[in-house]
Amino acid sequence: MGTKAKLVGGDGGGPGEEVSHHHNHHQYHHQFHQTQQTQHHHQQTQQQQALIDQLFKAAELVESGNLVHARGILARLNHQLSPVGKPLHRAAFYFKEALLLLSNNNAATVTAATSPPQRISTPFDVFLKIGSYKAFSETSPIVQFANFTCNQVLLEALEGFNSIRIIDFDLGLGGQWASFMQEISLRMGGAPSLRITAITSPSSHDHPLELVLAKDNLSHFASDLGISFAIEILSLDSYDPTSWSLALNVSEGEAIAVNLPASPSSYHPSTFPSILRLVKQLSPKIVVSVERGSDRTDLSFSQHFLHSLNSNAVLLESLDAVSTNPDTVNKIERFLLQPRIDCAVLRRHCVLEKVPPCRTIFATAAFSPFPFSNFTETQAEWLVKRIKVRGFHVEKRQNSLVLCWQMQDLVSVSAWTS
């Protein structure tokens, strides 16, 4: 009896023993594999954090004018960072490149008037940038969210006016105004006349061809829609900003709307308060302002550098989530996002003083928030719901509509009246 018991359930390893042993063996291997994965992930995180710490140290050295030591750190990081890999790793590469440009450009002598180092210098580069922008607006919801939200606010504020004047401090490639023209031709009972004045500066466009193409494309589009249209380009440097009304040649009966981003390419962030005071002289019906998640003028250079690095890593993470083509993402990064990062890093270095947040400046200049309609909010949410990937959502916050990815701000829109 005892022998039998031993054969069935004791040392001898009957069926029950075999199953139990196999289960324990499998469980051990599973736990061992999980532990290895956790350790590997922890090691990767530590390595990433060490790289970010080094990059932040280099930014602090540039901020204090110690370019020699900054270049030493950046030279070491050259061997550790590349534009391939996870979003934070890629973002770190682009910010390392921007710091290199700044330090090699002799950061100590850079002034607010200095143009960012040019990466785009030929007409072919312009077409690469246009292709990248098109890919970005088709892949990510950021551009559509900003354009549609701004345009809906403009349509509501300008309803009933036959003569519309847009003062635009961030024309870019002009895509926003093509969709705006389409809307006014459909909604406003016949096509009102539209005049756009684009305020530019030497650093606002990488190549003169960009402005020429934007101007031609908008003119042709308006002609196709039967809209009475005119567009003019004014340089911030070409006239006395104290006499804006005269320089802008405002006609009686024109309803003025202003597109004034929080961190545009046509002027320096530190001049935002003075520009806003001048805008107020024009008595605009509405001012719309787009703010990227990376825009923080209230931080020191090194703190802004770190915030912007993390913010751009979030942007790249959201791009990876919605794109099925790594080549497309790479093109967007090289020809669109990297030049933006260069520009942001250089411009922030030029600002010696911190600038209050955009909302504070609008309030100080006696602008009042323009409330978003239910339709505007619903449209923004509908845009996000169209995306098959989870992680994007819209928040209403402090008179702004904010597009977020995994609880991190990507872009926000606010609207103001004088």
CA terminus-to-terminus distance, the chain: 99
Looking at residue 241, its pLDDT comes to 58
Distance CA 22, CA 36 (A): 21
Together in a domain, 202 and 273: yes
pLDDT value, residue 277: 84
Same domain, 359 and 262: yes
The per-residue pLDDT for 239 is: 56
pLDDT attached to residue 34: 60
Indicate whether 343 and 251 sit together in one domain: no
Report the 10 Å Cβ neighbour count for 329.
Answer: 22
Same domain, 121 and 213: no
The reply to whether 405 falls in a domain is no
Is 36 in contact with 44 (CB distance < 8 Å)?
Answer: no
Among 337, 365, 393, which residue terminates a domain? 365
Is it the case that residue 128 has pLDDT exceeding 60?
yes
In a domain, 397, yes or no: no
Choose between 44 and 64: higher pLDDT: 64
Residue 153 CB partners (closer than 8 Å, separation 6+): 286, 288, 370, 372, 376, 413, 415
In a shared domain, residues 154 and 106:
no
User: 166 and 93, same structural domain?
Assistant: no
Candidates 325, 329, 305, 307; CA nearest to 317 is: 329
How many separate domains does the chain show? Answer: 2
Q: What is the mean pLDDT of residues 121-145?
A: 92
In 3D space, the residue among 44, 52, 90, 96 whose CA is nearest the CA of residue 70 turns out to be: 96
State whether residue 255 is helix, strand or coil: strand
- Which sign, positive or negative, has the C-alpha torsion 24, 25, 26, 28? positive
- Give the domain CATH number at 245: 3.40.50.80
Regarding predicted confidence, which is higher, 111 or 335?
335
pLDDT for position 124: 87
Which residues 6+ apart lie within 8 Å of 225 measured at CB? 181, 182, 185, 191
Are 176 and 213 part of one and the same domain? Answer: yes
Any domain includes 106: yes
Kindly state whether residue 173 falls inside one of the protein's structural domains: yes
- pLDDT, average across residues 310-330: 95
Q: Are 74 and 122 in the same domain?
A: yes
181 with 95, same domain: the answer is: no
What percent helix, strand, coil does the chain show, rounded to 5? 60, 15, 30
In a domain, 416, yes or no: no
Domain residues for the domain of 171 are 141-289+355-365
Is residue 5 domain-resident? no
* Residue 304 belongs to a domain: yes
In a domain, 307, yes or no: yes
Q: Per-residue pLDDT for 35 more than 70?
A: no
Q: Rounded mean pLDDT of 192-204?
A: 83
Quick check: helix, strand or coil at residue 233?
strand
Percent share of the chain, pLDDT over 70: 80
Residues 335 and 195 in one domain: no
- Mean pLDDT calculated for residue range 218-239: 87
| 179 and 227 share one domain | yes
pLDDT of 316 over the 70 cut: yes
Q: Are residues 158 and 220 in the same domain?
A: yes
pLDDT, position 398: 82
104 vs 110, more confident: 104
In this prediction the pTM is: 0.85
Cβ-based neighbour number of residue 373 at 10 Å: 13
| Per-residue model confidence (pLDDT) at position 10 | 41
